Homo-oligomer: A and B are copies of this chain.
């Protein structure tokens, strides 16, 4: 139980809170970070498939068994930076002022807040390396999408729990138990929209040649979210009508 809590904490906060942890936990986090950094380095140099786990473990001086106690798969270690962001997103979403505001706005703010929570030192570079690697490694991409999807579902249930847009368990209306309900459906769609906007923001951020700061990522996120209504209204013209 204790390890769970501390793990979640350090995943979001990064380096600073590590000093207060017991030695055993600190060591674990140190090897974890060493594995992440070395993995991104090696993968970047020789490609994801060009590096075996034996090689990586040898470089970090850790047994393969230990690797699999820290990460669930080879893809997992390379996706750690992004996963930290998703974890932070869920945390922020839990405690965020929301009443009376649009759901997509709350999600946008939560995503922006999660980005702001990421460690200022090196996180941006790690995500950049991770995403560029994922772009040319199908299995990594798939792994990342799956994790994102799980986060999405968690976000939907968190929203429904906190804001009670849809009844959680025993509803008074018998019709809402038969089908998912309009509120539930709208929640899922709103979350998926926001996630889509975030993905476009991230893709653009990764594609740009320089200036990879958290602030710039947030800016791109806001731009993408602002385009959602326009995207829904865009019509197809005969030639090059960009819509409006």
Tell whether, in the assembled complex, residue A237 and residue B99 are in contact, meaning their CB atoms are under 8 Å apart: yes
Say yes or no: A231-B186 contact (C-beta < 8 A), given A142-B142, A145-B145, A236-B100: yes
Question: Which of B190, B231, B243 contacts A231, CB < 8 Å?
Answer: B190
Bits for A181-196, please: 1 = Cβ < 8 Å to B, else 0.
Answer: 0110111111011001
Tell whether, in the assembled complex, residue B196 and residue A192 are in contact, meaning their CB atoms are under 8 Å apart: yes
Say yes or no: A164-B196 contact (C-beta < 8 A), given A138-B146, A146-B142, A149-B141: no
Nearest-CB distance from A88 to chain B (Å)? 21
A243 to B98, CA, bound (A): 14
Tell whether, in the assembled complex, residue B227 and residue A186 are in contact, meaning their CB atoms are under 8 Å apart: yes
Looking at chain A's contact residues, the main secondary structure is: helix
A239 CB–B CB distance under 8 Å: yes
Interface size on A, residues (CB 8 A): 57
Tell whether, in the assembled complex, residue A190 and residue B234 are in contact, meaning their CB atoms are under 8 Å apart: yes
Tell whether, in the assembled complex, residue A240 and residue B180 are in contact, meaning their CB atoms are under 8 Å apart: no
A101 to B234, CA, bound (A): 9
State which of A49-57, A61-69, A197-205 sits at the interface with chain B: A197-205
Question: Which of B145, B199, B235, B238 contacts A192, CB < 8 Å?
Answer: B199
Nearest-CB distance from A192 to chain B (Å)? 4
Tell whether, in the assembled complex, residue A165 and residue B236 are in contact, meaning their CB atoms are under 8 Å apart: yes
Nearest-CB distance from A22 to chain B (Å)? 32
A141 to B149, CA, bound (A): 9
Residues of A within 8 A of B (CB): 98-104, 106, 138, 141-143, 145-146, 149, 163-167, 179-180, 182-183, 185-190, 192-193, 196-197, 199-200, 204, 207, 223-224, 227-243
Q: What 9 pairs between A and B have smallest CB-CB spacing?
A: A192-B196, A142-B146, A189-B231, A145-B145, A186-B231, A142-B142, A98-B236, A183-B242, A190-B231
The 16 sampled A-B contact pairs (Cβ below 8 Å) are A100-B235, A100-B238, A103-B234, A104-B232, A104-B234, A106-B236, A142-B146, A163-B236, A167-B240, A185-B204, A185-B223, A186-B243, A187-B231, A188-B196, A189-B197, A189-B231
